[in-house]
Amino acid sequence: MELTGADIFVESLKAENVDTIFGYPGGAVLHIYDALEKDESGELTHILARHEQGALHAAEGYAKSTGKPGVALVTSGPGATNAVTGIADAYLDSVPLVVITGQVPLELIGNDAFQEVDIVGITRPCVKHNFLVKRVEDIAETIKKAFYIATTGRPGPVLVDIPKDITAQKAEFSYPEKVHIRSYNPVVVGEPQQIKDAVDLLLAAKKPVIYTGGGVILSNAANELTEFSRLLGYPVTNTLMGLGGYPASDKQFIGMLGMHGTYEANLTMNKSDLVVAIGARFDDRVTGNIEKFCPDAKIIHMDIDPSSISKNVFVDVPIVGEIKNILPALIDEIKARGTQPDADALAEWWKQIDEWRAMDCLKFEQDDKEIKAQYVVQKLWELTAGDAFVTSDVGQHQMWAAQYYSFDKPNRWINSGGLGTMGFGLPSAMGVQLAHPDETVACVTGDGSIQMCIQELATCTQYQLPIKVINLNNGYLGMVRQWQEFFYQKRYASSYMDALPDFVKLAEAYGHVGMRIEKPSDVEGALKEALALKDRLVFMDFITKKEGNVYPMIPAGAGQNEMILV
């Protein structure tokens, strides 16, 4: 039976077990939207965002919280270019997305037609792969390839650009069971000799540290990481993207490392003799000054992406493969040898780490005058028992959320790491809430970030999404102001938000509950009240200390042991 290209596209998504699509219609994708409307299977739900960037971030939130690929559908021209920020965000955070863009009819490509842009060319630097479909017969196989590429190896966004006329033409529909791409064959199992070499270093170390990133979560390897770490008894630190990959409540966890990491995590890294990097990419926010990074340490690096190995930092033992496969192989090799690390050396190492811990670098005092942002996040953690899904925007509030909300589970911390995208928090929370309708979803944001995609409050109204928005309102672009205080002699150029809306009235205008909280004594009660409203979005506008700073902080160009603590 022949189907139109639009119908083939819909049937292909169903064959991939897609249940949710985030998008925004336009002329070039009207055939596809019509096919979605006519589909009576009930298998696909389309979520109408209010901006294409919001649709992409919602798809990211869906993917990050479920481990399944997110799907977004936008039109050509400005619809496609509006989606680029979300695509780039997903690329840097290795988020599996399949993004479908409409395109002008094939014969008009290159003619500067209405709403034409070369979105394949524009996105080439920030996608894992992209396709321009030129024949209706190729739609099904292209969709199969897109999902395969997006979800295997190091995940990432794949874009499929489909001209409008191709979606109207007809062809026989047959969805392939599998695809083979000659030039793409990810390595998933660690090489045996490298496993042995790694164990040699693991058992010989005197001052080891396990440094883990988002790859642990992407590989669904949190349980394997916990078993591996407890077998060795080594300290564990997470990157911003890796939080929740190892339980924060565990005694071996020494906190997040990096620019705003803990004193003990950064000094443990700096003074170590062995760094065991697992699913992490040695980002500049982690390493600080490369020349000063872990000067006395040998490095084991496990990653699914061979291009990440020795890209930023030279490593002594590389292991390419899925973290979920590598860690059990290491565990088996350690057990097979019947030997353990040097217990005396490890005890001495832990004694030193506990001395650094005693600095209590995240300690703060909440007075009865101004609300401190740290206090709000800490109370949120207490009242949700650490079991909420927490999304964030980008800035000071993001760092405070990472520092003061302790994640014991993977896939619960949803933030924009690599690109640092303001506007990510609210739409990503939509994707999370749609994927987990019975769970508590909190969006920690700031007065600058929330306005980037605030129109998505309308989407939350339409689909009755009971997100709890925690707006840490200090009247500044907080992280910009902090850098200006530290490094620009307090010249607060364009970082003061002196024309803020009444967020309570704005939330109410969209049909939600709004609260303004100005006193520290009201913080806990407001959070309790909001969390009790299970079926309503609640926008909590916390008026916080204007010039609060995130500590610790490693200045740009400094080493891990050169932290600003107060």
By CB atoms closer than 10 A (0-12, 13-18, 19+), residue 339 is exposed
* CA proximity to 429, closest of 397, 402, 380, 469: 469
Of 14, 115, 359, 409, catalytic: 115
Contact 437, 62 (CB under 8 A): no
Of 479, 515, 553, 563, catalytic: 479
**108: its two tokens:** 């008009």
Of 9, 16, 22, 52, catalytic: 52
CA separation for the pair 501, 74 (Å, rounded): 30
**256: its two tokens:** 């997040």
Our answer to whether residue 422 is catalytic in this structure is no
**60: its two tokens:** 């990211």
**243: its two tokens:** 């939080």
CA separation for the pair 207, 261 (Å, rounded): 19
Paired with 208 in beta bridges are: 274
**346: its two tokens:** 């490890």
Which residue, chain included where needed, has tokens 């508590």?
440
In sequence order, what are the residues at sequence separation of 6 or more whose Cβ sits closer than 8 angstroms to the Cβ of residue 185?
Answer: none
- Pairing label, strands 389-392, 441-446: parallel
CA separation for the pair 492, 547 (Å, rounded): 11
Of 114, 348, 490, 508, catalytic: 114
In 3-state terms, what secondary structure has residue 170? Answer: strand
Sign of the dihedral defined by the CA atoms of residues 29, 34, 40, 42, in that order: positive
Our answer to whether residue 52 is catalytic in this structure is yes
- 120 membership: H or E segment, kind and range: helix 119-123
Our answer to whether residue 563 is catalytic in this structure is no
Of 128, 144, 145, 164, catalytic: 164
Our answer to whether residue 114 is catalytic in this structure is yes
Catalytic residues: 52, 114-115, 164, 479
